[in-house]
Amino acid sequence: MALYTHHLPSWKRDEVAEIRKYAKQYTLIGLVDMYGIPAQQVQQIRRNLRGKAVIKVTRNTLIRHALDEIGGETKGIAKYISGHSAMIFTNDNPFKLFKQLEKTKTKMAAKAGETAPEDIIVEKGPTSFKPGPIVGELQQAGIPAAIEAGKVKIRETKTIVKKGAVISAKIATVLIKLDIKPMDVGLALQVAFHDGSIYEPAVLSVDETQLLAQIQLAGQQVFNLSVNAAIPTKETMAPILTKAVREARGLAVEAAIYEKDVVDAIIGKAQRESQAIKTLVK
């Protein structure tokens, strides 16, 4: 059912109208998660994206209203609205946008109650701490610590929080003291709608180095298949002819077919074989 906006206050209708305006101006419509981003960093992100993308922060209900009025397949991104969603508009493709947004992320200290984005690992080795209560704090957080040469030392590398687990207050405090910043803070793309298709982050997170290596491997395999199966192309015609000449010459030598181009090779082969027989007889 359509969510009509005629009953909304004027400022809310203006918000919806602005979203619809951007949706007409740009080829990509997306949602980003703004949760936990300090206002100062948001302003810096806006400056970095100026001329490339527009971020529209408004209430989730108004985003739903706007998507409902835009209609069509675009409405499909409404189900991705969650938490502190904001809208983003750009003329770039989804992969380029995802890469740009990843660059906006910075490392920050963890807060109690947050979820670990990856395994949080504390490496073994000396610290800058002098003997004191810190030893007990580390041990209570599951970090094996001892005093060596007048300094606190972590005795072994330890994973203290698994990916997806909640970070406790005790561990968050210890991580701050160890200057470990496990949280990626920045615009996280929730979904992108472009050229009739919906793109989720899992699809857009591409390892370019690995992808290039796979393309190169595929190209080499296609090249080898073309040559070995004698499928002529512009790139493989010369290698196919070279391979054919080499195989024909080898066949002529093995079968002792006396042609002027292989007579010397046939005689040379006969001499080698006769010499091998003489060696065996001796």
Name 13's Cβ contacts closer than 8 Å, sequence gap at least 6.
5, 6
Question: Residues 158, 268: one domain?
Answer: no
Q: How far is the C-alpha of 173 from the C-alpha of 244, rounded, in Å?
A: 72
Q: Is residue 110 part of a domain?
A: no
Do both 135 and 192 map to the same domain? no
178: domain CATH number? Answer: 3.90.105.20
Does a structural domain hold residue 82? yes
* Predicted pLDDT of residue 120: 92
Would you say 200 and 37 are in contact if contact means Cβ atoms under 8 Å apart? no
Specify the number of domains making up the chain.
3
Please, what is the Cα angle at 81 between 23 and 104, to 5 degrees?
Answer: 75
Residue 25 counted as domain residue: yes
pLDDT under 70: residue ranges of the chain: 1-6, 282
Q: Let me know whether 143 and 265 are in one domain.
A: no
Contact 64, 3 (CB under 8 A): yes
Choose one of 205, 240, 255: the last residue of a domain. 205
Asked if 150 and 192 sit in the same domain, the reply is: no
C-alpha 161/C-alpha 120 separation (Å) is 5
Residue range(s) defining the domain that contains residue 168: 120-183
Query: What's the pTM value of the predicted model, to 2 decimals?
Result: 0.61
Same domain, 200 and 243: no
Question: What is the dihedral angle through the alpha carbons of 153, 158, 161, 162, rounded to the nearest 10 degrees?
Answer: 170
For residues 100 and 198, membership in a common domain is answered with yes
215 & 201 share domain: no
Q: pLDDT by residue (tens digit) across 147-176?
A: 988 889 999 999 999 999 999 999 999 999
In a domain, 144, yes or no: yes
Position 112 in a domain: no
Q: Are residues 81 and 124 in the same domain?
A: no
Q: Give the pLDDT of residue 195.
A: 92
Whether 55 maps to a domain, the answer reads yes
User: For the chain, what is the total number of helices (H) and then of strands (E)?
Assistant: 10, 12
Q: Is there a single domain that holds both residue 100 and residue 15?
A: yes
* Residue 60 resides in a domain: yes
Q: What is the CATH number of the domain that holds 50?
A: 3.30.70.1730
The verdict on residue 5 lying in a domain is no
In this structure, the answer to whether residues 69 and 146 fall within a common structural domain is: no
Judgement on whether residues 27 and 94 belong to the same structural domain of the protein = yes
Question: Does residue 97 sit in the same domain as residue 133?
Answer: no
Report pLDDT for 87.
95
Last residue within a domain, chosen from 205, 237, 252: 205
Question: Could you please report the per-residue DSSP string of 22-52?
Answer: HHHH-SEEEEEE-TT--HHHHHHHHHHHTTT
CB 33 within 8 A of CB 27: no
